[in-house]
Structure 1
Amino acid sequence: MTGRLDGRIALVTGASRGIGCELAELLAGEGAHVYCVARTVGGLEELDDRIKAASGSATLVPLDLLDFEGIDRLGAAIYERHGKLDVFVANAGMLGVLSPIGHIEAKTFEKTMATNVTSVWRQIRSFDPLLRRSDAGRAILMSSGAAHSAKAYWSLYAATKASVEALAKSWANETQKTALRVNSVNPGATRTKMRAQAMPGEDPETLPSAREVAAKIVPLALPDLAETGHLFDVRKGRFLTYHNPD
């Protein structure tokens, strides 16, 4: 372990697989105690085994993020135990359905919005006070290139990620004069289950692994990060600056 996050408290949602799982393990490897949040208990237990094998520490939180009161209880528990939160990664999400807009079923639209947007707002609401108590709070909200390309049939997923970016930008503007840094991340095409669901004919071996992508996101969690209110493009390896109109 390099120890760049020694003594710090991190929380990662969607931590049972994919980018979230790899990022949780890497943050623990940097010395953070990581709250690993996901619905899949088996995946969390496998992650915990790897973290412990590397002498790291974690708290497993089996939680469906549609349990909004559960998110609030988690925030309260972290406050009682640590009094703060240093790193928050809103990674969990769902693809929904690729479909013409008029063919999307109401229940699918509502569940995808609730999972990808409403739950993120609820997490921000619960964790913002904890992050402000850190001397270097870091919030990372996972987005997607779909938020900007708005390709045909991707309307639902694109709308959710555009919403998340809007939340991140406003949150960053609200906290500019604090120690909290808030940024979004476009991971790009990655070898994950969600990508395979969206692109079933694609050769996954042509894509970077979740581990490779997660490693490039870790610097956004470090105390020396200065940037806030930006979108980090993993493929380009740099921040893209948003322009705020007058």
Structure 2
Amino acid sequence: MSNTAEAKPGRLAGRVALVTGASRGIGAAIARAYAKEGAELILTARTVGGLEEIDDEIRAISGKTSLLVPFDLKDFDNIDRLGAALYERFGRLDVLVGNAGALGTLSPLGHISPKEFQEVIDLNLTANWRLLRVMDPLLRQSAAGRAIFVTSGAARGPRAYWGTYAISKAALEMMVGIYAQEIQQTKVRANLIDPGRARTRMRAKAYPGEDPQSLKAPDEIMEPFITLATATFTGNGEVVKAQ
């Protein structure tokens, strides 16, 4: 009898997962966590180099190669093309993680340029709606489709100077809540995760005087991202705090 314990399959073994904004920060941490749990990964980000770096990490973790899709989510036609490509390749999508986002400028509302306002709304809200619109049929093809979106405490209650970011996240929460009600009678579930105070580039931009070592690293707050992606999680329309 072997003394070596048989490796247990991960909680996401065989599940096809799409993660946006996967080249760094929370997105990269999600990719690593999902790789450890056995998921088949599709990763998007704007930077080819960043995606290749995280793919190298994933191969070291699981021995698998991810499907890398470098593009700007604000190019909405690419989202449509991605949906068609995933249908051809997999025929379904088990997990959608809408993580990519932009902070924008923290300033009085009247000082934000129309161009910047639109860019933040396009990425934080409209791109996620386009993802839901395109990926919904694929999620319904899964035995247990799961949609997860990253939100923020800034979405709940007015916060001076947080302008476009807070507006976009509040709208995102409303959108996901509506979608959750619409899919209640299906096998798909949609929820949001608020990562809280995590050591990310966006957090450093928002709080430049903060000691980053006082914050948890993204890899330390991954348990909710894994749990909500499992076939056994049945919560729907919830906002889950990671810490």
TM-score, with structure 1 as normaliser? 0.93
1:111-122 to structure 2, matched below 5 A, reads 111-122=119-130
Query: 1:63 aligned to 63, 71, 74, which one?
Result: 71
Query: 1:44 aligned to 33, 48, 51, which one?
Result: 51
Contact 2:183 2:189 in 1 (8 A): yes
After TM superposition, give the deviation of residue 32 of structure 1 in Å: 1.0
- Aligned position for 2:158: 150
After TM superposition, give the deviation of residue 2 of structure 1 in Å: 4.2
Contact 1:23 1:215 in 2 (8 A): no
3-state SS of paired residue (2:66)? strand
3-state SS of paired residue (1:57)? coil
- Paired amino acid for 2:84: A
After TM superposition, give the deviation of residue 24 of structure 1 in Å: 1.1
1:53 pairs with 2:60: yes
**Whole-angstrom distance in 1 between the partners of 2:72 and 2:228:** 26
**Whole-angstrom distance in 2 between the partners of 1:56 and 1:188:** 30
3-state SS of paired residue (1:118)? helix
Query: 2:180 aligned to 172, 178, 184, which one?
Result: 172
**Whole-angstrom distance in 1 between the partners of 2:218 and 2:13:** 24
Gaps of 5+ in 1: 236-246
1:196-215 to structure 2, matched below 5 A, reads 196-215=204-223
3-state SS of paired residue (2:222)? helix
- Aligned position for 1:17: 24
Q: Runs of 4+ in structure 1 displaced over 2 angstroms?
A: none
**Whole-angstrom distance in 2 between the partners of 1:89 and 1:35:** 10
- Aligned position for 2:226: 218
- Paired amino acid for 1:53: A
1:62-81 to structure 2, matched below 5 A, reads 62-81=70-89
Note closer, same or farther for the CA distance 1:229–1:216 as it changes in structure 2 (3 Å cut).
Answer: closer
Number of residues paired by the alignment?
235
- Aligned position for 2:137: 129
Contact 1:68 1:122 in 2 (8 A): yes
3-state SS of paired residue (2:192)? strand
Gaps of 5+ in 2: 1-7
CA deviations on 1:66-115 (whole Å, 9 max, x unpaired) are 11010000000000011000000000000011000111111110111111
TM-score, with structure 2 as normaliser? 0.94
